[in-house]
Chain A
């Protein structure tokens, strides 16, 4: 019997790290955290704005029960507020103006009446305060010994439809609190970061006779044309070293997948099916997954970059039209209703290449354009529901989804 128990225990341990297994409820076991503001210089509106940003970031960490009460206390106060005595953690911060109106923030994390972590931050302008908030949340997460949330500090680039054939390309933080329109006017879509440092990006312009891939160097603002194709031209993915692109082009009328060498400017056709092959995403160094209609409906396949070997990756659903991969995991978009006349539902599903489990990640509306974070900890996606377009984040290990709505327009595509 002991052997049986120990085997079952081992079995449970093996499954503990599988992201396709859903965590149903662990809210009660999370430690509590509250925030105390000790800021000077700034007006109440801004103080509250920063507080809300911090509450939102701590919530997205998914490792605390976050208290939403706004309370004020001096930074050097010897103990926490009476109301916060029962809290496991207290985060106290002080905002103050630095040189040239820069924003400075000092924080301390208090646990059992002891100061367990402290740090200072500064940023050149007050209106980019959200990046300090994200950095604080990132550091607290690190201090707690949780898996990294480095994606929290990365920038999101997305295109927004503002009218027929009219779009904007925007750079934002993950929560859309900071937004900077980098390309305004024209019809420009499918922006994609060109490197890990996020200082260069690709996008497709449809303002030219043929759809054309362009590249923008954000330091010099130099815009260069990379390659054109009749019909379709999209940069679907960029390799980790930034040297190889996966493109969807229709050089011969049909959308097919091509690899493009950034250094030699040479391209190679990877698929030649007479139907639709699109949305290629690197899966490791020698493979990519893509969407193909070769079975008569869109589904997820993979192709080896060195051979002609093509393999079906998903065996569920009759209309799986977008995908992203990280390690052994694939997230894909599946149409769950097929109705020309009413609202349809599209949900995201997660599968592992090593098990048969399938996990549905969303429940309502049109959920699409899934993109794994580089470390696989989170999935970014676009949600359209009841005329509201949002960018969502799924924390796989915590079974939580967070939505950040767009003030106007609809998100066309994005990358982070």
Chain B
């Protein structure tokens, strides 16, 4: 009996012998007596935004020409919504993408398009950004399948940083899981 107990303990020891103690490295640097935080001036503001460009473009719109402005066309493009933690298109959304592709081949044929992937508020990590990108990628593939030139399409993910709704309700979360179309000149 004693030998069984002994051998069990020895086995346990062998199993756990890899669990060495983890001693954090002690910083041996001489401590400075003057904590002098680096104070830095504010970096100049960077405010180049596609939205501004569109507003400018919109103001140049000429009704007399009968042409639709970029922002007019953009307002006709749909928003594509996705299910929780998913990036595949359901049939309803597939129909919307097909309509967008039609616009892309006709009225909006002179513009490039930027697909903006967005997520709900569950997670600010890289994976959530990647999920937004996968949503944009799904829409891109569907547009290409409908005959749109892939070179006209660029993508970006905004993760959860571009919500259209901030209430904590299921309707609101659903509104944020989306891909927006932005036209580029």
Residues on A facing B (Cβ under 8 Å)? 3-4, 7-8, 10-11, 14-19, 119-125, 128, 131-132, 134-135, 138-139, 142, 147-148, 150, 153, 155, 161, 164-165, 167, 171, 173, 178, 180-190, 198-199, 205-211, 216, 218, 221, 223, 230-232, 234, 236, 248, 250, 253-255, 275-276, 278-279, 291, 293, 298, 321-322, 327-329, 333, 335, 338-344, 346, 352, 354-355, 366, 368-369, 375-377, 382, 387, 410-413
Residues of B within 8 A of A11 (CB): 9, 12-13, 16
Structural contact, A164 and B164, CB atoms closer than 8 A: yes
Structural contact, A231 and B137, CB atoms closer than 8 A: yes
Known: A148-B25, A207-B47, A322-B125. A167 touches B173 (CB 8 A): no
Residues of A within 8 A of B77 (CB): none
Q: Is B55 engaged at the interface, CB distance under 8 Å to the other chain? A: no
A55 to B136, CA, bound (A): 49
Known: A17-B22, A231-B157, A321-B123. A248 touches B37 (CB 8 A): no
Residues of A within 8 A of B131 (CB): 276
Give, as a whole number of angstroms, the nearest-CB distance from B51 to chain A: 9
Among B42, B83, B125, which residue has its beta carbon within 8 angstroms of that of A279? B125
Structural contact, B125 and A333, CB atoms closer than 8 A: yes
Residues of A within 8 A of B114 (CB): 209
Q: Is B49 engaged at the interface, CB distance under 8 Å to the other chain? A: yes
Interface size class of B (residues with CB under 8 A): 35 or more
Residues of B within 8 A of A293 (CB): 127
B13-56 interface bits toward A, Cβ cutoff 8 Å, 1 = contact, 0 = none: 10011111111111100011111111111110111111000000
Interface secondary structure of B, over-half rule: loop
Structural contact, B127 and A186, CB atoms closer than 8 A: no
A131 to B48, CA, bound (A): 36
What residue of chain B has the Cβ atom nearest to residue A354's Cβ?
Answer: B18
Structural contact, B134 and A276, CB atoms closer than 8 A: yes
Structural contact, A188 and B46, CB atoms closer than 8 A: yes
Known: A205-B46, A366-B122. A231 touches B155 (CB 8 A): yes
Residues from 119 to 155 in B contacting A, C-beta threshold 8 Å: 122-131, 133-134, 136-137, 140, 154-155
Among B18, B36, B129, B170, which residue has its beta carbon within 8 angstroms of that of A234? B129
Q: Show 17 A/B contacts (Cβ-Cβ < 8 Å), sorted by A.
A: A11-B13, A14-B17, A14-B20, A123-B36, A132-B35, A147-B24, A182-B42, A186-B49, A189-B159, A207-B48, A231-B157, A234-B129, A250-B155, A255-B126, A321-B125, A342-B170, A387-B168
